[in-house]
Chain A
């Protein structure tokens, strides 16, 4: 029994130590960015404090937009909180990006598996993918006659190229060994697709999906600024037109944070799906 009673305080002690260490580690991760952020805000405040400054400083931004900050889901007639606007944008991204992912992966697998087809469409796709998202907007509006579906189309057409090309490269890079295994075992098409092809291209697919989500978010904000009736891009343009620069800046913060979260989300899904070599 003696060792037991001995070990108890030890255990508590080590647990406490562990917590302290964790905290120290975390503080290493938190303190430098916090200092950088503070310096950035301070510099901003100093830069705009001179006479004739055209932009509000951080303190003024917070003061001006306090209602919006504490109440993202407010609704009063035409005015909607930033939470609603963000959700409206995210909904378009979700639809456009899901379509882009689905069709992009399918097209990528097909052109990756067929060399002739790949060579045939490669020049065309290379040209199309350099077209900036906003340049698609007039065509999208012409097709759909409505800014909602047009925005979704712009997201789709922007996000699909990296998904197509990365998936195709994944198929092309698939080791010959795996194909040989499939051939000697005479795997059915279905088994080949789900047991060999898909798992082996997943890492490539996700790098395409990750680039795609970033582009999609860029595209939707721009598209909403030009032709929108809701969404965070529309909010920015609306605030600009009513000369409310504080609101514009607050919206930028929203866009940045949401973009980062989207990127992390796709990255997180990737880690769930992609096998990591425990080496």
Chain B
């Protein structure tokens, strides 16, 4: 497959890949339920969630707040365990967090006493303790360069803007070569311009690394621009996957171009209809 990359139009590559993918599910979420015991009985957050993600796919998850999107992703990252069912990565059951499923946290989660370089290095050093130091340094430098932060490598997070912090967080995540990259509303706190910039960078990085991405978002336009498939969750309690939209735009995507596509508005309206009419958030 590697030889095909870049030489054959993406749409064709996807088509060539598809059969192989279907027979080789990469990340499988099977009959997953999550129930929390509370003072007034048990509370079911998720019930009977099934999702199969293929290698190299970019999947976005959307839904109202409280629908259990973060809980679902936490079970992929391993921070929580499903009450029923299981999550498997390449047939291996997920039981705890690990660097093969690296998370880009909502609030960046950088260590404020370490510089951008040290934050990324901590991950690389921990995941590849046996690599020589020079190589680890090189990996960190490459990934900081990839997100355009070479200049800011020696700055500490309090000196960085929100967008820069998120860039460090993405560099930290990718530098350890995860199999799955999990992003929990990574751009939610950023201004519109920074957000679009980072979306484009994320796509570029995703294409370059061929990492499998699972990302929570609140923003339909963001999902339509980024994702191969958009997973729409029903409302909680006992939320499940309502529908999965295939997003057919060819890659590499151009924001202006896809927004001119009438299909864009069909998908957008469909998703809006799902979220705001069929599963509108009732205000108690």
Is the CB of A135 closer than 8 A to any CB of chain B?
no
Q: Are B105 and A180 in contact (CB under 8 A)?
A: yes
- List of B residues within 8 angstroms of A191 by Cβ: 122, 125-126
A189-205 vs B, Cβ < 8 Å mask (1 yes, 0 no): 00100011001100000
A195 near B99 with CB under 8 A, answer no
Quote the shortest CB–CB distance from A68 to chain B (angstroms): 47
A185 touches B111 (CB 8 A): no
Identify which of A99-107, A212-220, A271-279 touches chain B.
A271-279
Does A60 make an interface contact (CB < 8 A)?
A: no
- From 117 to 135 in chain B, residues with beta carbon under 8 angstroms from any chain A beta carbon are 122-123, 125-127
- B window 95-121: CB within 8 A of A: 96-99, 101-103, 105, 107, 109, 111-114
Residues of chain A contacted by B126 (CB below 8 angstroms): 185-188, 191
Tell me, yes or no, whether A181 is within 8 Å of chain B by CB.
yes
List 7 A-B pairs, minimum CB-CB distance, nearest first.
A177-B109, A199-B113, A184-B97, A277-B158, A183-B97, A185-B126, A275-B113
**Does A178 count as interface, using CB distance less than 8 angstroms?**
yes
Q: Quick one: given A191-B126, A275-B156, A278-B159, are A184 and B111 in contact (CB under 8 Å)?
A: no
A-B CB contact pairs (8 Å), 28 listed: A177-B105, A177-B107, A177-B109, A178-B109, A180-B79, A180-B97, A180-B103, A180-B105, A180-B109, A181-B111, A183-B97, A184-B78, A184-B98, A184-B99, A184-B103, A185-B122, A185-B176, A186-B97, A186-B126, A187-B122, A191-B125, A196-B111, A199-B113, A200-B113, A275-B112, A275-B158, A278-B159, A279-B158
C-alpha gap A195/B159 in the complex (Å): 19
Residue in B closest to A198 when the chains form the complex, CB atoms: B113
B77 is an interface residue with CB less than 8 A from chain A: yes
Shortest Cβ distance from A215 into chain B, in angstroms?
Answer: 28
Q: Which residues in B have their C-beta under 8 angstroms from that of A200?
A: 113
In the complex, A184→B77 CA distance in Å? 8
Q: Smallest CB-CB separation from A202: which chain B residue?
A: B113
Q: How far is the CA of A191 from the CA of B118 in the complex (A)?
A: 13
* Chain A interface, >50% SS class: helix
Write the residues of chain B forming the contact surface with A, with a CB cutoff of 8 angstroms: 77-79, 96-99, 101-103, 105, 107, 109, 111-114, 122-123, 125-127, 156, 158-159, 176
Q: Smallest CB-CB separation from B108: which chain A residue?
A: A177
User: A62 CA to B112 CA in the complex, in Å?
Assistant: 52
With A186-B97, A196-B111, A277-B112 given, can you name 10 additional A-B contacts, CB distance below 8 Å?
A: A177-B107, A180-B79, A180-B109, A185-B176, A186-B98, A186-B99, A187-B126, A191-B126, A199-B111, A275-B112
Q: How far does the Cβ of A175 sit from chain B's closest Cβ, in whole Å?
A: 8
- From B107, B111, B127, name the one whose CB has the most chain A CB atoms within 10 angstroms: B111
Nearest Cβ in chain A — how far from B61, in angstroms?
A: 19
Contacts of A178 in B (CB 8 A): 109, 111
Closest residue on chain A to residue B182 by CB atoms: A184
**CB proximity of A185 to chain B, nearest CB, Å:** 5
Number of A-B pairs, beta carbon distance below 8 Å: 58
Q: In the complex the two chains form, what is the Cα distance from A184 to B98 in whole Å?
A: 5
Q: Is the CB of A185 within 8 A of B79?
A: no
Choose from B77, B111, B127 the contact partner of A195 (Cβ within 8 Å): B111
- Indicate if the CB atoms of A184 and B113 lie closer than 8 Å: no
* Bound-state Cα–Cα, A186 to B123, Å: 9
B122 x A195 contact (CB < 8 A)? yes
Distance, CA A255 to CA B98, complexed state (A): 56
Q: Which residue in chain A gives the minimum CB-CB distance to B107?
A: A177
Q: Which of A181, A186, A275, A279 interacts with B109 by CB under 8 Å? A: A181
Q: From residue B180, how far is it (CB to closest CB) to chain A in Å? A: 12
The distance in angstroms between the C-alpha atoms of A196 and B176, with both chains bound, is 19
- Give the residues from 152 to 187 in chain A that come closer than 8 angstroms, CB to CB, to chain B: 177-178, 180-181, 183-187
For B125, the chain A residues whose CB sits under 8 A away are 191
| C-alpha spacing A200/B111, complex, angstroms | 9
Q: A residues within 8 A CB of B112?
A: 275, 277
A195 to B118, CA, bound (A): 10
**Contact B158 A278, beta carbon cutoff 8 Å:** yes
Chain A stretch 227-279: residues in CB contact (< 8 A) with chain B: 275, 277-279
For the complex formed, measure the closest distance between the CB of A202 and the CB atoms of chain B, giving whole angstroms.
8
Chain B residue numbers with a CB within 8 Å of A278 are 158-159
Q: Chain A: which residue is nearest B99 at the CB level? A: A185
Least distance between B8 CB and chain A CB atoms (Å): 35
B121 to chain A, nearest CB (A): 10
Interface contact A183-B79, CB-CB below 8 Å:
yes
In the assembly, what is the distance between CA of A243 and CA of B123, in Å?
68
Please give me the residue from chain A that is nearest to B125 by CB atom.
Answer: A191
B185 → A minimal CB distance (Å): 14
List chain A residues, Cβ under 8 A from B77: 184
